[in-house]
């Protein structure tokens, strides 16, 4: 007989998992690998640099840390939706409260989650452009292309994962 496991006390959305320290054991190295791959692709194929190793070593830690900062700010934006919109009476507030369970439930929830992803992506771009690539020898256009590549490919699209799928 197969033992069934249920998570009765896990009542939080998937995107909040990035805030919990126990999950960071998996998330941190996975995120480092993704950021490394995207940075290496950007340096080699997007801006066609020859000294990739040197540029990678100078920037990867900043890219990785600032990417997490941007993702956490996006997650806080989603958490704010749950805190401020979960107990309201208006129809719009009730629709926004579904951000917590399923962004695809209605257009308002989808747009709110899309805004949170966009906020994170813009922050990834700005933080990488201004800080990660500030002390390296790249042209302004190359820094923009590298930061844009990171922003597009490492934005937290996991915010769209419906939490309600886990609890059914």
Q: Do residues 12 and 32 touch, judged by C-beta distance below 8 A?
A: no
Q: Is residue 1 part of a domain?
A: no
Q: How far apart are CA 68 and CA 56, in angstroms?
A: 18
| Residue whose C-alpha is closest to residue 74's, from 13, 113, 120 | 120
Q: How far apart are CA 41 and CA 30, in angstroms?
A: 17
pLDDT by residue, tens only, the chain of 168 residues: 554 443 333 334 555 555 566 777 888 899 999 999 999 999 999 999 888 999 999 999 999 999 999 998 998 888 887 677 666 667 777 677 677 778 898 898 899 999 999 999 999 999 999 999 998 989 999 999 999 999 999 999 988 988 777 665
Burial class of residue 29 in the structure, from the number of CB atoms within 10 Å of its CB (0-12 exposed, 13-18 middle, 19+ buried): exposed
Q: Look at the chain and report how many structural domains it folds into.
A: 1
**Domain range for residue 141?**
25-165
Q: Is residue 6 part of a domain?
A: no
- pTM passes above 0.85: no
């Amino acid at each position: 007989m197969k033992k069934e496991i249920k998570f009765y006390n896990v009542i939080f959305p998937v995107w909040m998992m990035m805030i919990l320290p126990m999950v960071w054991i998996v998330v941190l190295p996975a995120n480092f690998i993704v950021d490394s791959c995207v940075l290496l692709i950007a340096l080699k194929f997007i801006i066609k640099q020859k000294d990739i190793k040197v540029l990678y070593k100078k920037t990867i830690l900043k890219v990785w840390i600032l990417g997490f900062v941007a993702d956490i700010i996006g997650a806080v934006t989603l958490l704010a939706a749950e805190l401020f919109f979960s107990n309201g009476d208006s129809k719009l507030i009730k629709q926004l409260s579904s951000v917590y369970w399923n962004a695809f439930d209605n257009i308002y929830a989808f747009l709110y989650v899309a805004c949170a992803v966009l906020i994170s992506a813009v922050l990834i771009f700005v933080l990488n452009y201004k800080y990660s690539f500030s002390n390296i020898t790249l042209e302004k256009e190359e820094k923009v292309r590298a930061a844009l590549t990171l922003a597009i490919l490492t934005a937290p699209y996991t915010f769209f994962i419906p939490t309600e799928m886990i609890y059914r």
